[in-house]
Structure formats: C-alpha cells, structure tokens
Structure 1
Amino acid sequence: MATYKKRGSKKTSTSSVKSEVAQESTTAEVFETLDTTASKTEEWVVKYQNIILSSIGIVVIGVLGYLGYQNYILEPKAKEAISELNQAQYYFELAVNTVNSDSLYKRALNGGEGKYGFLDIIENYKGTTAAKLATYSAGMAYLNIKDYQNAINYLDQFTSEDVLLGALAKGAIGDALVQMNQLDKAYNYYVDASMINNNMYSTPKYLYKAAMLGAKLGKNSQALVYLKRIEKEFKESQEAGLVEVQIAILETLMK
C-alpha cells in the first residue's frame, strides 16, 4: 500500500511539472502575441501618424471654423442686416399709410439713400433672420404694387416659426391668386391659412375669405361650415359681424 502511494505521488509530481511547463509555454505565447500585436499597432501608428494627426486637425479646424463663423462672421452680419432692414421697413410702413404709395413700396424693395432694400437684404444676408423677414415684406410689397407673380414667388419662399406671419403669407398668396383669377388655388390657400394657427385674427379672416370664395365656386356646404364656425368660435372677431347675412343667403340658396 505504501509503495502504491509513493508511486502515485511521484506520478502526480511529474504531471504537475508538465502542466506548469505547458502553462508557461502558453503564457509565453500569449505575451509574444500581445507583443507582436502591440508592435504592429505601434508600427501602424508611426506609419500613419501624419494621416491621423491631419484628420484630428481637420476636425478641430472644422469646429473652430464653425465657432469662428458663428461669432465673427454670422453674428456681425446679422446685426448689420437688421440695421439695413430697419430702413427698408420704414419705407414699407410709410407706403402702408400713404395713398399714392407705389414709389415707397418700390423704394422699400430696391433701397434708397445709400441703404439696402428688401431685395438687397435677401441677396446679401442669406441665412439671417433679417433676410427671412425681408422675403415676407418683399412679397407683401409686390402684392401692393400689383406685381402678383413676384408676390407669390417671394411669399412662397418665406418660412417662419411665427405662426401668425406664416398664416398671413399663405393668405396673401391666396389674395394674389384671386387677382390672377386662379380661384381654385386661391381657395386652397385660404383654407390652409386658416388652419396654420387658431387665433382671433388670422383664423376668422381666412375662414371668411374661404367661405366667400367657396360660395362663388359652388362649395356652398363647406362655405356654410366656415361661416358658422366663425359665428360660434370667433364672436369677438371683425368677421363675426359679417357672417349672419351670409349664412342666411347660403341657407336660402341650399333649400
């Protein structure tokens, strides 16, 4: 029994040594692999470091360029644009309050006294708030001097987060289309304008225009819906005082 245990013990010792040798060999292989990989990585970095640094540089320059553009180009440009817009808007407001106003609207569009007009601001200050407002005002100026196609062109380009101005621009396109006798298109613009924002000014204004034009186009049922909505929801509006007679006329026609 003792001999058996001794032999077993010796066998175990030999096995352990072999296992340790195998583990050391495996560990050495792992470290060798890691060293080789690290070496290859270092070689790759060394080989392509100029490209890497150039790429980082491009990103940094891009960020700095954007910040510089915002702070040193766009912001001063925006302030300058507002200054120019004030003068053009001054001519526009004079025109609104003057009987023979075409010359003032044209000055608002084209500029005067060394100042830009709306068209110059749109061209030279693209991307600024002033240019957006100039686009709206240019469209309205063209509408007032009866240049309806240009009015549509500029008002159609106008975009704004101001929902009231957005509604007025849509409605003004409708007005221009009416003058050009494109009544179906005008009707659709009036409906769209009434839906942009629910408020006491633009909503009843364009519901009423849609109703009146709709009745002319034979859309009596829908026109009646618009008029009754004004009567019910916008009692304090200017249009509310006009709808009672129109409702009576349409109801008589539809009997």
Structure 2
Amino acid sequence: MRSKIEQIRMSKKNTADSGIDIIESPEALASQISRAEIFFIKYKKALIGVAIAIVAIVLAFAAYRFYIDSQESTAQSALSNVVYAMENDSLSQALNGSGGNEGLLAIADNYPGTDASNLAHLYAGIALIKQGKFDDAIDHLKSFSSSDLLVQGRAYALTGDAYMEKNQPEEAISYYKKAADYKSNEFFTPVYLMKLGIAQEKAKQPKDAIASYGKIIEEYPLSAEVTNAKKYKGLLEGEVGE
C-alpha cells in the first residue's frame, strides 16, 4: 500500500500533468478550444453587447473631455474680460457683459462643467449681494463648489450673509457653521464664528452664541475677534444668568 506522502505526490503530479496534457495533447487542446467556442456562441450577443457598451462609454468620455476642454478655453477667455469690471465695481457690466462680451450670468449658464463657470457663480453671487439681490445671490453661491483651502468657506459665509440680509438667521446659522467647520484656520475661522454667534443671538439662541464666542476665545486667542468675542460673551452670560 502506498504511503500518504506518495499519494500526495502522485496527486500533485496528476494535477500538473493535466495542464501539460492540454498543451502537449492536440485532442485535449481541441477539447478546451471547443468549449470556449461553445461558450462564446452561447453568450455571443451578451458578450458583444458588453464590448460595445464599454467602447461607447470610453468614446463618450473622450468626447465629453474634448468638449469640456474646448469650452473651458472659451469660458476662461470670457471670464478674464469680466474681472476688470468686477475690480472696478461695475457690477451691472460684470453681471450682464458689454460690448459683445459675455457677463458672469451668461458664463455661469453657458459653460456648465467648466472651472470658469464654477468661478462665475461665485463672482455673480458676490456682485448680486452688493446689488441687494439676495435670493439670486444665494442661488449662485449654492451652485459654486471648491476644495480650495479658503474659497469654499468664504462662499458658505457669503451665503450666510445673504440670509442675514433677508432676516433669516436660522438659515444663516447653518451656512456660518459650514464656513467655520470648513478647513479651520486662524485667519478666517474666527470671523465665521463671530458671524455665527451674532446670527445665533438674533435667532434667540443665547447659549449657542456663548459657545461660539467661547470657541474664539479658547481656540483663537490671538485673533482680532477676541476682544469683541469676550465682550459679547460677557453680556450674554449676564443676560442668561451664567
């Protein structure tokens, strides 16, 4: 009787030989090819459909990128013509364009998916706030998105400002919180926390406002907002009896 070790060796040998047989034996190889042919024939339509779908997706993506790249170039050129008007507070010209040049509103709408369109939404929001058109400003600011360290937080805060101008402190609070929580930094976060505290006071949330002012004092003691934060916090604590 063969030992267990010999049986294991024979089993491994047979397994290995089966692969060699397929390569060395024409009959075995033909059998494997035949099975593959049968599988292909059986699922021919499905396999071809999948292949066509993959090619279509690749081509569609390539076409989309080509389109976006071409649009980006045009949109960036249009946006550069608007920046000068923005810098000189020619708000109507910046928003609506002039001399055949597109304004921020047109750039934002006509070049979706481009960086220039995205930035045009932000600029339009700022200009519309200055014009007192707060609802329109909110729509554009909400359409803007960025992973930048500072700009997205600024957009959140501006949205909060627009809601405060509309006397809607509850809505403003949610955006000031987003601004304060977005990539915290010593330069702008204290400003956003101060805005948050003021909005919370207006919304009759004194304890929350105290917490916001306290965060400035504790976490950003060197900021310019600390003096007012201490003042407002002390006044509120006196009112609520803390």
Q: Which amino acid aligns with 2:94?
A: A
Sort the Cα spacing of 1:123 and 1:243 in 2 relative to 1 into closer, same or farther, 3 A.
same
Q: Which amino acid aligns with 2:67?
A: I
Residue 234 (structure 2) pairs with residue 248 (structure 1) = yes
Sort the Cα spacing of 1:173 and 1:33 in 2 relative to 1 into closer, same or farther, 3 A.
same
The residue aligned with 1:154 is 140
Per-residue displacement from partner, 1:23-78 (whole Å, max 9, x unpaired)?
Answer: xxxxxxxx9998688568658868998996786466446434533543x4322321
Query: How far apart are the structure 2 equivalents of 1:108 and 1:239?
Result: 33
Instruction: Show structure 2 runs of 5+ residues with no match.
Output: 1-25
Query: How far apart are the structure 2 equivalents of 1:224 and 1:47?
Result: 72
Structure ID, larger Rg: 1
Residue 86 (structure 2) pairs with residue 92 (structure 1) = yes
Deviation at 1:83? Answer: 1.4
Residue 209 (structure 2) pairs with residue 223 (structure 1) = yes
Runs of 4+ in 1 over 4 A off after TM superposition: 31-58
Q: Which amino acid aligns with 2:206?
A: N
Query: How far apart are the structure 1 equivalents of 2:52 and 2:170?
Result: 57
Query: How far apart are the structure 2 equivalents of 1:162 and 1:43?
Result: 55
The more displaced of 137-146 and 39-48 is: 39-48
Sort the Cα spacing of 1:169 and 1:37 in 2 relative to 1 into closer, same or farther, 3 A.
same
Query: How far apart are the structure 1 equivalents of 2:40 and 2:217?
Result: 76
Does the CA-based 8 Å contact 2:107-2:117 persist in structure 1? yes
Does the CA-based 8 Å contact 2:164-2:199 persist in structure 1? no
Query: How far apart are the structure 2 equivalents of 1:235 and 1:175?
Result: 24
Query: How far apart are the structure 2 equivalents of 1:45 and 1:184?
Result: 63
How many residue pairs match? The answer is 216
Does the CA-based 8 Å contact 2:95-2:104 persist in structure 1? yes
The residue aligned with 1:67 is 62
Within 5 Å, give how 1:5-84 maps onto structure 2: 42=37, 56=51, 59-60=54-55, 62-70=57-65, 72-84=66-78
Sort the Cα spacing of 1:237 and 1:86 in 2 relative to 1 into closer, same or farther, 3 A.
farther
Query: How far apart are the structure 2 equivalents of 1:62 and 1:183?
Result: 46
Deviation at 1:250? Answer: 1.7
The residue aligned with 2:126 is 140
Query: How far apart are the structure 2 equivalents of 1:55 and 1:191?
Result: 47
Q: Secondary structure at the match of 2:88?
A: helix
Residue 149 (structure 2) pairs with residue 166 (structure 1) = no
Identity over aligned pairs, percent:
30
Query: How far apart are the structure 1 equivalents of 2:39 and 2:219?
Result: 73
Q: Which amino acid aligns with 1:233?
A: E
Query: How far apart are the structure 2 equivalents of 1:69 and 1:211?
Result: 45
Per-residue displacement from partner, 1:186-229 (whole Å, max 9, x unpaired)?
Answer: 22222222112211233111211111222233322221221122
The residue aligned with 2:190 is 204
Instruction: Show structure 1 runs of 5+ residues with no match.
Output: 1-30, 96-103
Does the CA-based 8 Å contact 2:169-2:202 persist in structure 1? no
Q: Secondary structure at the match of 1:85?
A: helix
Sort the Cα spacing of 1:35 and 1:246 in 2 relative to 1 into closer, same or farther, 3 A.
closer
The residue aligned with 2:4 is none
The more displaced of 144-153 and 237-246 is: 237-246
